[in-house]
Amino acid sequence: MRARDPAGAWSEERIWDELALRMRTKEYGPLHQGPIVQRTVVDLESDVLEPLRHGSLFLAGDAAALISPSAAKGANLAVLEAELLARALIDDLRHGDAEGLDAYSARCLTHIWRAQEFSHWMIALLHGPSGADRPSPFHEALRQSRLASLRTSRSRQDWFAEHYVGVLTPPVPFPSPSPPPLSPLPY
């Protein structure tokens, strides 16, 4: 289905047939069908606005970047961006240190582009083109080989897990003022 198609363009039968095909029910058994109570066309396109700072305006969440829901990265990115911005604002307002605000866009964009790349990789892996855009037999065989590799290769599984949960994302170094000195213990 194309993003420009209305949500009701497909009959229930067509939706279940397509889902059965994608879920490989001939190999793994039938789906339990029920009524379709809501129809929505989800646009899997993405966008990133750069830079994320425009004077005193800072973009975060969907205002900063739209990411397809395929890899479930949007909410995590929004929380990370809000945390980075909150820390930077605290440092600037409490301590006069604007370094975090000045670096906000670059720090966030590193995470955003890594998530975008993984999301698009996952879309191509799981939802190869269809219809007139269907890939050549060679490209479809490559996609199937990648899926098989994820099922059988521990290193590929580790790579996938690290990118899916963001383990490889390095901790964001943040300038932080020195903690206040400890009060002497009363004796």
25-66: per-residue pLDDT in tens?
A: 999 899 999 998 888 876 667 899 999 999 999 999 999 999
Which whole-number Å values give the CA distances from 84 to 16, 61, 181, in the listed order?
A: 43, 12, 25
Check residue 132 and give its pLDDT: 65
Check residue 187 and give its pLDDT: 41
The H helix count followed by the E strand count for the chain is 6, 4
Which whole-number Å values give the CA distances from 59 to 16, 52, 82, 130, in the listed order?
A: 40, 5, 9, 35
Check residue 167 and give its pLDDT: 54
Structure tokens at 70: 């395929």
User: pLDDT class for 148, splitting at 50, 70, 90?
Assistant: very high
| pLDDT tens for each residue of 100-147 | 999 999 999 999 999 999 988 888 888 776 666 677 888 888 889 999
Q: CB neighbours of 62 closer than 8 A, spacing ≥ 6?
A: 74, 78
Mean per-residue pLDDT, 76-103: 95
pLDDT above 60 (res 185): no
Extract long-range pairs of 89-93: CB within 8 Å, 24+ residues apart.
91/174, 91/175, 91/176, 91/177
pTM of the predicted model, to two decimals?
0.68
Check residue 181 and give its pLDDT: 47
Check residue 180 and give its pLDDT: 45
Check residue 6 and give its pLDDT: 80
Check residue 177 and give its pLDDT: 45
User: pLDDT class for 183, splitting at 50, 70, 90?
Assistant: very low
Q: Letter for the amino acid at 35?
A: P
Beta strands in the chain (DSSP E): 47-48, 53-54, 57-58, 65-66
Structure tokens at 5: 């198609």
pLDDT above 50 (res 14): yes
| Omega within 30 of 0 (cis) for the link into 51 | yes
